[in-house]
């Protein structure tokens, strides 16, 4: 990462897709401390790869950083780039998590994708890597299971 690559503070267009999106990291000011950083994206959107119809999800990303933090504007642009990207729920959720792990090498990462129903069935996708360090507080994701209108 160099200052030239930072999107923060610059007018940057939304990438055409996740492959083109630049996901950036910045130094962790507390690499000797275990703590959880959470990103919540309650209005995530992608496209069904078969029908082209929009899919919607509530994403929760929890990670225990090591040397690097994800730069939040680059994460927002990366997540937004999925709006024109066709992929199944599982592929979106796991792909985002693996890209973050590849960039950050965190001590721990947990990704939850709560997908809204299409065809009457909600799909929830969960993945984690590593083991939560002892003594680290990890709150519940805070997303209720889908209950419909009942």
**Which residue numbers are catalytic?**
48, 55
Strands of 108-118's sheet, edge to edge? 37-47, 54-64, 108-118, 121-129
Q: For residue 19, count other CB atoms closer than 10 A to its CB.
A: 8
Q: For residue 112, count other CB atoms closer than 10 A to its CB.
A: 21
Cβ distance 108 to 128 under 8 Å? yes
């Amino acid at each position: 990462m160099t200052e030239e690559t930072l999107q923060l503070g610059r007018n940057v267009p939304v990438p055409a897709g996740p492959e083109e999106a630049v996901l950036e990291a910045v130094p962790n000011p507390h690499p000797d401390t275990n703590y959880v950083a959470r990103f919540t994206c309650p209005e995530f959107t992608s496209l069904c790869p078969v029908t082209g119809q929009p899919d919607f999800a509530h994403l929760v990303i929890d990670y225990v950083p090591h040397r690097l933090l994800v730069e939040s504007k680059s994460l927002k642009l990366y997540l937004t780039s999925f709006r024109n990207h066709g992929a199944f729920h599982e592929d979106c959720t796991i792909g985002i998590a693996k890209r973050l792990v590849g960039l950050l090498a965190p001590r721990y990462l947990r990704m939850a994708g709560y997908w809204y129903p299409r065809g009457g069935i909600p799909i929830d996708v969960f993945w984690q890597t590593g083991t939560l360090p002892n003594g680290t507080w990890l709150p519940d994701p805070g997303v209720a299971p889908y209950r419909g209108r009942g």
